Structure 1
């Protein structure tokens, strides 16, 4: 028999839903790329597409001090060059690249485990 546990996610910011072109964080619908942690929301994050993603656009992540960064590349998974996120790896921040819907699900799961996670999500 399966046991059920009460979801005790204490994150201030939680992803409620995702669809192409929009993400719902708490009760707010957002239509541009964001960076989210359990405690911070960085709206209107540049880039808006994967082709605009650069190493410099991820510099803000180091200030947030996550243990792991999830990069959501939009509706499909896209490979990124190591130069884009190499400095984060050198700082001891784990990086996972996946499609944005998968990054949203993973973010919520890691938040529920009280992990220090950040997600850089391209919403397009």
Structure 2
């Protein structure tokens, strides 16, 4: 599915498919096939998990260290919520978290980043796309 951001001067998600996203920044496109964290301030790094069941509190503490206004968590091909105990680091810093499937997270990230919000998307990419 092709996604069209309003502003191209921020890191944007240009496309999505089972197990991959197309990431763009200033006209340069890159196909990503691993779980990733991206941010509207240029943050970009591999998120060390390949399945929802591998997530730990440390994964979410890593997101809190980025100090965004909001974290968009893409839980893979279906909606799954992390245990509340995993979110303590985010709650301690009063950082909001929205959970949705990864396709919805990609669209939401583009909208918020395009509005100039300080947002981070943590996108779990299912290897099977199931």
Same fold (TM over 0.5): yes
- In the aligned structure 1, how far is the partner of 2:75 from the partner of 2:7? 29
The answer to which structure has the higher strand fraction is: 2
Deviation at 1:98, TM superposition (A): 0.7
2:13 to 2, 7, 15: 15
Partner of 2:105: 103
In the TM superposition, 1:113-124 aligns within 5 A as 113-124=115-126
Q: Offset of 1:118 from its aligned partner? A: 0.3
TM-score (norm 2): 0.84
Q: Tell me which stretches of 4 or more aligned residues in structure 1 moved more than 4 Å.
A: none
Give, in whole Å, the separation in 1 of the partners of 2:114 and 2:59.
27
Structure showing greater radius of gyration is 1
Match of 1:42 in 2: 45
**Partner of residue 22, structure 2:** 24
Cα–Cα, structure 1 residues 110 and 65, in superposed 2: closer, same or farther, change >3 Å?
same
Partner of 1:4: none
Distance 2:115 2:8 in 1: 8
Task: Give the gaps of 5 or more residues in structure 2.
Answer: 1-5
Count of residues in correspondence between the two structures: 116
